[in-house]
Amino acid sequence: MTSFHPLSVRGRTLGNGREPAVCLSLMTADLTTLDSDVAAILALAPDVIEWRVDHFRAANSADEVFAAAARLRKAVGELPLIFTFRSELEGGAKTGLEPSAVGQLFARAATSKSFEFIDLELSLPVTIINAVIDMAHQSGAQVIVSSHHFDRTPSEEEIFGLLARGAEVGADAAKVAVMPETAADVIRLLSATERASRTLSLPLITMAMGSLGAITRIFGGLFGSALTFAAGERRSAPGQLPIGTLREIFAAVDQLEK
């Protein structure tokens, strides 16, 4: 039987404990649009907001990044925030930042107390991963270790291994996103998720992207995925459903149990 491990913050479960919590990504370009962009997302009532810092034009200035972070924290209140700096190799915006500068951003985010979660790509040097996890845990933040494959769907064993590696390095949640070409690719992703949910003791976040993978964004929770990403005014990855549509589907499924 699938073991669903929900994400939680300060002892509070995100989502309803049965379905994945719903996240919207904030891809604001600069401080002049931050307030309006945040207001638009808050109006859609997500469970979590991910700040995609790689889309922030001043990402090369740590001071500007964390001035924006402070405003974001104040604007969202208690709503959980994920700090994400997605690399270009894994689907992020082109920033030109050196790895050392990216590592410094993660370190400052981990200790800033502005974020409940820090997203770290598994492809980062293990020294950065270990250091940021330690800093985050000392500051009361959690770490999501992630791996994104926009060009393929790895084997079931590889997907499971990526999730297991997240657990091994001490992450609080493990994330894998893949790009399917066939229905069989989608099944592999779901099968690996279900297996990992039974054998690993941390929350999992998995999805197949594109139209083929839409089912994983809706019913991933049945296989053990604790968080799904929806679209607000913009999509941060292919295949994201509008948050209103996703909520309607969840509500319709809930009615089947009554």
How many independent structural domains does the chain possess?
A: 1
Gap between the Cα atoms of 237 and 178, Å rounded? 11
Q: In terms of pLDDT, which residue wins out, 97 or 235?
A: 97
Asked whether residue 11 is assigned to any structural domain, the reply reads no
Question: Which of 55, 74, 149, 175 is labelled catalytic?
Answer: 175
The predicted model scores a pTM of 0.95
* Burial (Cβ within 10 Å: 0-12, 13-18, ≥19) of residue 251: exposed
Active site residue 74: no
pLDDT over 70 (residue 2) = no
Residues 28, 30, 32: CA angle, nearest 5 degrees: 105
What percent of the chain is modeled with pLDDT above 90? 88
Active site residue 148: yes
Asked whether residue 250 is assigned to any structural domain, the reply reads yes
pLDDT over 90 (residue 212) = yes
Asked whether residue 4 is assigned to any structural domain, the reply reads no
Local structure of 257: helix, strand or coil: coil
Gap between the Cα atoms of 11 and 62, Å rounded? 31
Question: Which of 5, 148, 149, 258 is labelled catalytic?
Answer: 148
Local structure of 118: helix, strand or coil: strand
- The tens digit of pLDDT for each residue in 60-78 reads 999 999 999 999 999 999 9
pLDDT over 70 (residue 237) = no
| Residues spanned by the domain of 158 | 19-256
CATH code of the domain containing 106 = 3.20.20.70
Residue 233's pLDDT is 72
